[in-house]
């Protein structure tokens, strides 16, 4: 049995989802709904060896970021600005956050002050003009 | 003798244990006993500091030691059970236990800021000695790949704890 519990809440701009797993860790709700967030991607930050990996993650607004704790004790992913705060993430548990605000967010683990990292949220790029969405000559 | 130096005998026991481990080939069952004992010693000190600590940062640090070292011990215990390894008492694990008991006895006689300084001073010595033992003996000696991987995995936590303990020691010194 992989999925034991899934708690999903909306805290301001954060949409955390904690997934507790026995054995193999499973990432929360998977890819976001295409109708809600067209083109949105899911990115993973692994917490292991008292480090966030990658140290700097750049995503687009609307993307989903999942922190997975591979260490043997709890950590948090907490923005200095408090834009997001996972609270305690137990070992082999993940926490997901929808990046809805553009900006650079330094964050760390409140339990272990030496652990620091950065999340960069860029504006969603305009869709490129292709053969399928080209409007054609103005009439 | 100033109270802040009271736990030095316990720290010395830790360093002696580390020195023994550095010069002696240890087996996987002995490594298992050393890892479990080292964590138990720091959990016990943390529980005392959480109750008797004076400053918030010392109490928070103590709680962190309890949580983190309990997590490490849980994984270590699960691993040795999976590997059917029975932890084997040895001079290092015995010295760690003795040093831990002496540290607790010394700390119980202190209170207030003197307790905080003595606890943190011991934490600095303890984590440094464990890191030395990991690097010079435990990791190189471990035969089982999963046991070796566990030791490598927990090392960064000991380094981070040491750094935090040094920072708190520095801030306590300014008070």
Give B126-160 pLDDT, tens digit per residue: 999 999 999 999 999 999 999 999 999 999 999 99
- Quick one: pLDDT at residue B58? 97
- Quick one: pLDDT at residue B56? 95
Q: Kindly tell me if the per-residue pLDDT of B3 is higher than 70.
A: no
Burial class (CB in 10 A: 0-12, 13-18, 19+), B60: middle
Q: Kindly tell me if the per-residue pLDDT of B94 is higher than 80.
A: yes
Segment holding A49, helix H or strand E: none
pLDDT in tens, A74-104: 999 999 999 999 999 999 999 999 999 999 9
pLDDT beneath 70: ranges in chain A: 1-37, 126-129, 133, 138-139
Instruction: Answer yes or no: do B71 and A111 touch at CB < 8 A.
Output: no
Tokens of B123: 């934490």
Specify whether the CB–CB gap between B132 and B155 falls below 8 A. no
Q: CATH code at B104?
A: 1.20.1260.10
Instruction: Answer yes or no: do B71 and A73 touch at CB < 8 A.
Output: yes
Determine the residue among B71, B134, B170 to mutate to test chain A binding: the one whose Cβ has the most chain A Cβ atoms within 10 Å: B71
- Quick one: pLDDT at residue B1? 41
- Quick one: pLDDT at residue A138? 65
Q: Kindly tell me if the per-residue pLDDT of B63 is higher than 50.
A: yes
Domain that residue B167 falls in: 3-173
Q: Between B71, B72, B164, which is nearest A113 by CB?
A: B164
Between B101 and B1, the more confident residue is B101
Q: Between A48, A74, A112, which is nearest B160 by CB?
A: A112
Domain A3-30+41-122: give its CATH superfamily: Cupredoxins -  blue copper proteins (2.60.40.420)
Percent of chain B with pLDDT over 70: 86
Which residues of B are less than 8 Å from A93 in CB distance? Answer: none
The shortest C-alpha distance from B34 to chain A (Å) reads: 18
Tokens of A124: 């969603």
Q: pTM for the whole thing?
A: 0.79
- Quick one: pLDDT at residue B24? 65
Residue spans per domain, chain A: 3-30+41-122
Distances (CA, A) of B83 to A26, A92, B28, B79, B86: 26, 21, 10, 6, 9
Q: How many domains does one find in chain B?
A: 1
Instruction: Answer yes or no: do A111 and B70 touch at CB < 8 A.
Output: no
pLDDT in tens, B17-51: 555 555 567 999 999 999 999 999 999 999 999 99
- Work out the average pLDDT over B105-117: 96
Band of residue B10 on the pLDDT scale cut at 50, 70, 90: low
- Quick one: pLDDT at residue A137? 72
Q: What angle do CA B63, B45, B68 make, to 5 degrees?
A: 40
């Amino acid at each position: 049995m992989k999925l034991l519990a899934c708690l999903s809440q909306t805290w301001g701009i954060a949409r955390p989802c904690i997934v507790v797993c026995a054995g193999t860790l499973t990432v929360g709700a998977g890819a976001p709904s295409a109708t809600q967030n067209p083109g949105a991607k899911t990115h993973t930050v692994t917490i292991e060896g008292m480090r966030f990996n990658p140290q700097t993650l750049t995503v687009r607004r609307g993307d989903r970021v999942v922190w997975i704790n591979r260490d043997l004790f709890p950590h948090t992913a907490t923005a200095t600005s408090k834009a997001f705060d996972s609270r305690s993430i137990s070992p082999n548990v993940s926490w997901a956050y929808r990046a809805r605000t553009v900006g650079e967010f330094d964050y760390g683990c409140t339990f272990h002050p030496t652990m620091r990292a950065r999340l960069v949220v860029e504006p969603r790029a305009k869709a490129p003009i292709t053969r399928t969405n080209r409007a054609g000559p103005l009439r | 003798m100033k109270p802040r130096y009271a736990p030095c005998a316990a720290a010395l026991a830790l360093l002696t244990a580390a020195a023994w481990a550095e010069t002696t080939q240890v087996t996987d069952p002995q490594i298992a006993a050393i890892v479990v004992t080292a964590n138990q010693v720091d959990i016990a000190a943390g529980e005392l500091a959480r109750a008797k600590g004076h400053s918030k940062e010392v109490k928070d640090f103590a709680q962190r030691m309890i949580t983190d070292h309990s997590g490490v011990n849980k994984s270590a215990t699960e691993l040795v059970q999976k590997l059917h390894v029975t932890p084997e008492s040895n001079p290092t694990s015995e010295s760690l236990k003795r040093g831990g008991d002496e540290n607790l006895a010394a700390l119980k006689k202190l209170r207030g800021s003197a307790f905080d300084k003595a606890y943190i001073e011991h934490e600095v010595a303890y984590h440094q000695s464990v890191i030395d033992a990991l690097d010079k003996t435990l990791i190189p000696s471990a035969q089982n790949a999963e046991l070796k991987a566990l030791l490598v995995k927990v090392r960064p936590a000991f380094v981070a704890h040491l750094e935090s303990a040094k920072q708190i020691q520095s801030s306590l010194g300014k008070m």
